Structure 1
Amino acid sequence: MYFWYRPVKAWMWILYPFSILLRVISAIRCHLYKKNILKSTKISLPIIVVGNISVGGNGKTPFVIWLCELLQKQGYKPGIISRGYGGKSANYPLLLTDATLGSESGDEPLMIFKRLRVPIVVDPSRVQAALHLQRNADVDIIITDDGLQHYALQRDIEIVIVDGKRRFGNQHIMPVGPLREPLSRLNSVDFIINNGAEHEGEISMYLAPLACKAVDGREAQLHHQGAVNACAGIGYPQRFFDTLEAQNFQLNQVQYFSDHHTYKPKDFTQFDKQTPLLMTEKDAVKCAAFAPENWWYLPISAQLPGSFEKQLLQKIKALQ
């Protein structure tokens, strides 16, 4: 919500009791898991959690893709588990295949699957997802996409992604602010990744745009940097539009959609059909079935320092 990233207004203090309640519940829950009063499951494979302490749009998915590619280059066989936000399957756990629909798996898991072709299991229970992945896929390390607060599954490494521009907004717990947990939670994680800026004690990550690809799946690239239309249904759409302008695209018509929006052809009737339409890779997986030839998506690639790669790989090797 936009007001989370602006100074606190007087009316927002009406929500403050709910923030206190959420903070107390979070603290009690963490304590119960640490004392083994609530069951926490440890599986035999290493678990890396990639999450955040604030709501949405921080750049977690590009980092997960980067991490998988790094592990593959080192000879590991990574798999991914996810809650599958925005999707609903008739059966869980759901092991993704080429026949899986975004409405079943959620857009982010399907996007990652189409990009990397690594085993991915979706389940609201990360424990069930991890066990299913371990038993039914050839993997030797598991990345959980989100799930920092899912303490029922024990983890070996915790990585938090922070939006370098918006940071933590007004620094309050929901619903007054965007935080899921207090900022003090950052003191216990292994790495803090800063998306798009530099900050002391954090690892800088930058997102590099690649060549635009056809939404309908054709082997084609967009060789055009003039006027385009653009849409985005992600946590922080403005970052996508800023990226397009930085690539010298001239934005004609722009449309924001809610994060994880379920697209239908009628959502695009306002766009001029003659002008190329650009969207994010996450949006594209939900539009491929009805996309015309002049719809394109912009893939991005995360870039992180080599020193961080060495630190992370050393920590992973120490788990074996």
Structure 2
Amino acid sequence: GGSARDFGDEPLLIVRRLQVPLIVGEDRYAAGVFAEADFGPQLHLLDDGFQHRALARDFDIVLVTPDDARDRLLPTGRLREPLSSLRRADAVVLTSGASDENFPMNGKLVWRVRRSILAKNVPPRPLAFCGIARPQSFLLQLRTAGIEPVAEAIYRDHHAYTEQDIHQLLELKNKSEAGGFVTTEKDGINLDGYFSALEPLAVVPVKMELADSARAVDTMLRQIEERSASGMRKSFLR
């Protein structure tokens, strides 16, 4: 149960995609202790955990995009740390178009991932809308899949849609003579009770394919096991 307003859009998306226990809390240590007591997990997977140095970690993965090589630190850009911080990572994942020449790898494991969308049942002449971090990437993926929106509406990341937003989208649909709507999975969650008001609406999942994924997972699990057995973790657990 619950909504994006209760738990956040990304946690709900992870739960629905993976069907695994997920704990949300500002105190990551307390969340981990709770998970240990209630679920007995063999592995803790932290989202946005690279900057959370209070916790001991056995393996750090950082995903980078082509835009990150040109971006700036907050608040003028989107980077939370300088690119030099990649030296703390165990593996760096390059998305489509990102080059290892643009990042300080320093002998790190480099994995490559291909990102695409699963565009099914998209209405003809759709109006595309989204409230995500990089909206132009979503629009480009639509066009790569052969879908050309007749109109676009862009909102801020994690946007919680309101009744006014729905009215404006419907007005834009009529003005552009769109045949319906297309949006992202995250936006589908943030629409909450307004979903049916925009039908026909296609919610397009993003597919991430890691090259040589079996080898990458084996490498990660082996290093985790070795560090756990030796006690040589990367930070101190309080």
The structure that is helix-richer by fraction is 2
TM-fit CA distance, 1:199:
2.3
Matched, 1:259 2:163: no
Aligned twin of 1:296:
202
Out of 267, 272, 281, the residue aligned to residue 185 of structure 2 is 281
Match in the other structure for 2:235: none
Could you tell me which residue of structure 2 aligns to residue 191 of structure 1?
91
Q: CA deviation at 1:108?
A: 0.2
**Number of corresponding residues:** 210
Give the AA of the match of 1:271: L
- For the pair 1:227 / 2:131, whether they are aligned, the reply is no
Distance 2:185 2:202 in 1: 9
Paired residues of 1:197 and 1:205 also in contact (CA < 8 A) = no
Q: Which runs of 5+ in 2 are unaligned?
A: 230-238
Letter in 1 for 2:8: G
Counterpart of 2:67 in structure 1 is 166
Q: For the aligned residues, what is the CA RMSD?
A: 2.0
Task: List per-residue Cα deviations over 1:215-274 (Å, max 9, x = no partner).
Answer: xxxxxxx165x4110111011011001111111112111011000111123213233266
Q: Does the 8 A contact of 2:160 with 2:191 survive in 1? A: no
Within 5 Å, give how 1:2-151 maps onto structure 2: 99-151=1-53
Distance verdict in 2 for CA 1:136–1:183, change over 3 Å: same
Deviation at 1:193, TM superposition (A): 0.7
Measure, in 2, the Cα distance between the counterparts of 1:177 and 1:263. Answer: 25
Counterpart of 1:289, as a letter, is G
Q: Is the 8 A contact 2:116 2:141 kept in 1?
A: no
Within the candidate set 129, 137, 141, 1:239 is matched to 137
Matches of 1:138 and 1:287, distance apart in 2: 34
Contact 1:197 1:204 in 2 (8 A): no
Unaligned runs of 5+ in 1: 1-98, 213-221
Distance 1:177 1:223 in 2: 33
Aligned to 2:112: 204
Q: Alpha-carbon deviations, 1:38-85, whole Å to 9, x = none?
A: xxxxxxxxxxxxxxxxxxxxxxxxxxxxxxxxxxxxxxxxxxxxxxxx
Selected match of 2:55 from 143, 153, 159: 153
| Aligned partner letter, 2:10 | E
Q: Which runs of 4+ in 1 moved over 4 A?
A: none
Q: 1:239 to 1:194 in 2, by over 3 A?
A: same
TM-aligned CA distance change 1:211 to 1:290, over 3 Å = same
Percent identity between the two aligned chains? 28
> How far, CA to CA, are the matches of 2:157 and 2:67 in structure 1?
17
Higher alpha-carbon deviation: 233-242 or 122-131: 122-131
Question: If the length of structure 2 is used for normalisation, what is the TM-score?
Answer: 0.80
Give the distance between the partners of 2:129 and 2:190, measured in 1 at CA. Answer: 13
**Aligned residue for 1:56?**
none
Letter in structure 1 aligned against 2:99: H
**For residues 177 and 291 of structure 1, do their structure 2 counterparts lie closer, same or farther at Cα, with a shift above 3 Å needed?**
closer
TM-score by length of 1: 0.61
Cα gap change, 1:223/1:180 in structure 2, threshold over 3 Å: closer, same or farther?
A: closer
